[in-house]
A = this chain, B = another copy of it.
Amino acid sequence: MANIRDVAQKAGVSVATVSRYLNNKGYISEEAKRVISAAVEELNYRPSLVARSLNTKQAMFIGLIVPDIVNPFFPELARAIEDVALEYDYTVVLCNSDEKIEKEIHYLNTLQQKYVAGFIVAASHAETSHYTDLNVPIVAIDRRIHPSIPLVATDNREGARIGTEHLLANGCRKILCMKGPSGLGPADDRLMGFMDAVEGKDIEIEVVESPFQFDASESIARTILQQQSIDGIFASSDVSAAGAMKAAYSLGISVPDQLQIVGYDGTMLAGQLTPSLTTVAQDLYQIGALASRMLIKLIEGQELEEREIQIQAELIIRGTTRSGA
């Protein structure tokens, strides 16, 4: 059966142009319309999406499964996914999994019954058969699900290394790493990056597990700051770093004079804190937008040029470390 690439080749135009034509969106020259129409006719091409939307009026929607939209990491991803989906006439169904595998499975099943076109998932678990057995395309964001499933994520190990080296360069000698939940891929990668940076250096380190939640992080940081003279914190998320800042404030520890803090994520929260947070920024908008484009390509039967995209993180130096103060 002919696919969209066959049509593009036959018509001598790009796949994007055919897609525009089929979706009736954006500018296409009259000449292009003519050759595409002829190619569609000749190849008897029945695009699944057009067939769906014209014949059965099927909903063209994408299921977005995230742990919790209230975590400031996810609204920025969701926003980008929705923006790109809108360009292609898709709508986005928002699903909060609360990191529970049974909620993820519920959504996967329910939305498939509703003819979802595909999924973008920040998965919380390593149980992958629910994902690999799907009948619709899927793209993973932030967290790897399975080698067979395309992924868009940050190079977390490298990002964490850069963030930690900034603390070292600023003179920190007793550094606390607030690592994320064990077993969560990005959190484990960031711990490795932290270890890469400190290995062989003449400094003391302390590693503690801390969820990506403000209250728990504040409490964990307060306990350690009361017991030990920490002069640097590398936190595996901005929310955890914000909790550490609050703990330091309540203990009368001055940031960045006595304690320097580096967060991770580059959410808007980091910029809104006082002092604003030095952080390893992920390009959240780009991650969301790329994942959305990748998924739509898969839905439209196109090949992906890359099945895995790693995006470099960037250190943003602000007020919680001395060279940014």
Q: A76-B70, A246-B272, A274-B274 are in contact. Are A110 and B82 (CB under 8 A)?
A: no
* Copies of this chain per assembly: 2
In chain A, residues 52-96, which have Cβ atoms closer than 8 Å to a Cβ of chain B? Answer: 57, 59-61, 63-64, 68-70, 72, 74-76, 78-79, 82-83, 86, 89, 91-96
Q: A57-B114, A94-B94 are in contact. Are A268 and B75 (CB under 8 A)?
A: no
Which of B114, B242, B274 lies in contact with A59, CB distance below 8 A? B114
One digit per residue, 1 when the CB lies within 8 angstroms of any chain B CB and 0 when it does not, for chain A 232-276 equals 000000010011011001000000000000000000110111111
**Can you name the residue of chain B whose Cβ is closest to the Cβ of A72?**
B72
**Can you name the residue of chain B whose Cβ is closest to the Cβ of A247?**
B274
A66 to chain B, nearest CB (A): 10
**Can you name the residue of chain B whose Cβ is closest to the Cβ of A275?**
B249
In Å, the complex CA distance between A94 and B242 comes to 28
A23 to chain B, nearest CB (A): 12
A116 to chain B, nearest CB (A): 9
Q: Is A45 an interface residue (CB 8 A)?
A: no
A238 to chain B, nearest CB (A): 9
User: Across the interface, do B96 and A83 meet the contact criterion of CB distance under 8 Å?
Assistant: yes
In Å, the complex CA distance between A269 and B79 comes to 18
Q: Is A111 an interface residue (CB 8 A)?
A: yes
**Can you name the residue of chain B whose Cβ is closest to the Cβ of A89?**
B110
A88 to chain B, nearest CB (A): 12
A57 to chain B, nearest CB (A): 7
User: Across the interface, do B94 and A60 meet the contact criterion of CB distance under 8 Å?
Assistant: no
Q: Is A115 an interface residue (CB 8 A)?
A: yes
In chain A, residues 203-254, which have Cβ atoms closer than 8 Å to a Cβ of chain B? Answer: 214, 239, 242-243, 245-246, 249
User: Across the interface, do A114 and B82 meet the contact criterion of CB distance under 8 Å?
Assistant: no
User: Across the interface, do A272 and B269 meet the contact criterion of CB distance under 8 Å?
Assistant: yes
A184 to chain B, nearest CB (A): 21
23 residue pairs bridging A and B, Cβ less than 8 Å apart: A59-B61, A59-B115, A61-B61, A61-B114, A64-B94, A69-B75, A69-B78, A69-B79, A69-B82, A70-B79, A70-B268, A72-B72, A82-B94, A91-B111, A92-B94, A93-B93, A94-B94, A214-B271, A246-B274, A246-B276, A249-B275, A272-B273, A274-B274
Given contacts A69-B75, A242-B274, 10 further A-B contacts (CB under 8 A): A57-B115, A59-B59, A61-B93, A69-B69, A72-B72, A86-B106, A91-B111, A91-B114, A93-B93, A243-B272
